[in-house]
Amino acid sequence: MIDKKTASFVQALCMGQIEEEVVLPYPEMKQAEKETLEQVIASVNQLLGGRAKDFREWDARGEMPAAFIEELKSFGLFGLVIPEEHGGLGFGSAAYSRALQEIAKHDGSVALTVGAHSSIGMRGLLLFGSDAQKKRYLPRLATGELIAAFCLTEPGSGSDAASIRTTAVKQGDHWLLNGDKLWITNGGFAEFFTVFAKTPDIQKNGKAQLTAFIVTRDLPGVSVGPHEDKMGIRASSTTTVHFEDVKVPDENVLGEVGMGFKTAMRILNAGRTGLGGGCVGGMKRLIALATKQAKERKQFGKSISEFGLVKQKIGEMVVDCYATEAVVGLVAGLVDQGYQDYAVEAAISKVFGTEALWHSSDEALQIAGGNGYMREFPYERVLRDSRINRIFEGTNEILRLFIALTAMNDVAVQLKDVQQSLRAVLADPIKGFGVLSDYALRVAAIRAPQQLGERFGEKLTWKQLHPALQQTAEHFEEATRELAWVSDRVLRRHGRHIIDKQFALKRIADILIDLFDGSLKKKGEEQAARELEILRVFARRARGRIRGNLRRVDVNDDELVKRLADDAFEREAYGWDLI
Ligand SMILES: Cc1cc2nc3c(=O)[nH]c(=O)nc-3n(C[C@H](O)[C@H](O)[C@H](O)COP(=O)(O)OP(=O)(O)OC[C@H]3O[C@@H](n4cnc5c(N)ncnc54)[C@H](O)[C@@H]3O)c2cc1C
């Protein structure tokens, strides 16, 4: 029986185990939710369909009109994830992600406006709010009377979120909030802010801990700056938000005092399927645009869709879109089924989806050729819009480090046990052998499956996969076995210094990303033949990448590359002009 509190498919992979029950059967949405979702999809298309000209104009102007935001409110789009008892639609993660997908098919800025509100702006209230807080704010958040924003980033604090300088000091029945937040989505019109501040009175190991607060726009001392002039998602609102001696009532503390960092991370994890859904919507739109464009455009006496290199791009876009939709749907399914430890899987879906969308935007623009470069066509805007996804809600670099380190955590814990067991073995070999941990035996079994594999081998094979995927399954099992060796080896080699071995961590993260994506199939046992082909193409490519990454764990140019970088840092220039 799987323990939904602790089970993580990806963490188990590093231990050489395939926890099949976590990912199969592929999660299904409940019928009632599906029906409501269909209505939402229809109304999204009714509201946003045929407005391409507006979206282009708002992008050029760098703002969407207030009247349009009122329309979004009247269509109920700010209440997607708010429970029905508080006036929302009560969507779970999968339905929410699918709704955002539909919005993103039309426009990235609109998807971000809705997504920043639901995914992160008021997610903390849903996850950690008290009943009184929920009663007070959720009904107005559902109608859009209050639009929400998430305020973590500051001028001196981006990826290093724990280094924020905004402070909240307890004074009687309120907290005095002071500080400046940067690049806050929806900042221009939000009335409800989830704000993270350092609370100097709450210390751990001599360090002030963070606390999350609900801050409303009407509190004296709250102000916002002008709209930022951005590269993409230009019509969405991004501003600074300032807090000057804001008296935040004690009842507005969100979650536990001193637990703000964890609160922020939980919010970001829970919100990732929204961003993932947006990426899928973007890719589906690009496939529709690029296939039409390629069929219409004639060169060398033929439609360019007949050329192999154009087909290759479209084929890859289809595979990437399928893999992203599958992985985002699976993570959403984990959330909806009550799994609690899905942070690594959610991070994988973010990294994979945002990079797949970026690649697809670039390829779609390339297929459109010079037209792709012109503002008259949508490609350059989609490319600009999609670029931000790799930066916000955790940069993909930080998330890769997080994926590898968190996924290997169980191995690290076991290694400590193994070392202790080994000491016991050496002290008293006969008695000691009995205490050699399961982990040590499993690693031995993975290395010599013929001798010891029977006892542990059952954890290393897929049992429910479609027979047509047999070979793919074998490759997956082989890669999992190798991943377990590599995790073990890398951790033994670097010990606690692993945290600084970013080249190695990136390789392990990339292997995990490929494996997790490769473990999926969207539609249960009865696969359409085309879907099996997509899976096979993905799996073959993933296998090539995984083998490359495994090889380079031991044989690589990391030190050379670092030296080249250090040299460039010293010169602050390129140093190898030919003439
Ligand atoms: C349009 C837009 C909207 C945004 N919306 C919001 C919002 O609503 N709320 C909010 O709080 N924030 C928001 N942000 C901020 C966003 O989350 C941050 O930009 C992001 O977290 C990265 O921080 P940074 O820009 O300071 O980059 P930095 O942290 O300075 O990173 C710069 C580069 O260094 C890399 N790097 C940093 N540390 C490491 C490391 N340890 N190892 C390896 N590489 C590293 C990063 O990956 C990145 O490539 C928004 C930003 C933008 C541009």
Residue-wise pLDDT for 384-398, tens only, equals 999 999 999 999 999
Ligand 1 centre and the CA of 548: distance in Å? 29
Residue 375 has pLDDT above 80, yes or no: yes
**What's the mean pLDDT in 426-441?**
60
In this prediction, residue 444 carries a pLDDT of 66
Mean pLDDT over each residue of the chain, to the nearest integer:
92
In this prediction, residue 452 carries a pLDDT of 47
By DSSP bridging, strand 174-185 and strand 167-171 are antiparallel
**What's the mean pLDDT in 194-221?**
96
pLDDT tens digits along 224-250 = 999 999 999 999 999 999 999 999 999
What is the rounded CA–CA span in Å between residue 77 and residue 255?
26
In this prediction, residue 414 carries a pLDDT of 83
Q: pLDDT band for 565, please (50, 70, 90 cuts).
A: very high
Q: Tell me whether residue 398 is exposed, middle or buried, using C-beta atoms within 10 angstroms of its C-beta: 0 to 12, 13 to 18, 19 or more.
A: middle
In this prediction, residue 431 carries a pLDDT of 54
Higher pLDDT, 415 or 371: 371
What is the rounded CA–CA span in Å between residue 499 and residue 412?
12
**In the structure, which protein residues have their CB atom closer than 6 angstroms to any atom of ligand 1?**
116, 149-153, 158-159, 183-185, 230, 238, 388, 391-392, 395, 397-398, 502
Higher pLDDT, 557 or 415: 557
Range with lowest mean pLDDT among 266-270, 282-286, 492-496: 492-496
Question: pTM of the entire structure?
Answer: 0.94
Q: What is the DSSP string of 44-65?
A: HHHHHTT-HHHHHHHHHHTS--
Residue 450 has pLDDT above 80, yes or no: no
Residue 44 has pLDDT above 80, yes or no: yes
Higher pLDDT, 374 or 520: 374
Ligand 1 centre and the CA of 389: distance in Å? 11
Higher pLDDT, 232 or 471: 232
Active site residue 191: no
Q: b/e map of 511-527 (b: 16 or more CB within 10 Å)?
A: bbbbbbbbbbbbeeeeb
What is the rounded CA–CA span in Å between residue 444 and residue 39?
54
By DSSP bridging, strand 192-204 and strand 148-151 are parallel
| Shortest-distance Cα residue to atom 31 of ligand 1 | 159
Distances (CA, A) of 166 to 124, 212, 286, 510, 522: 18, 11, 41, 35, 44
Per annotation, catalytic residue among 345, 363, 393, 482: 393
Ligand 1 centre and the CA of 337: distance in Å? 31
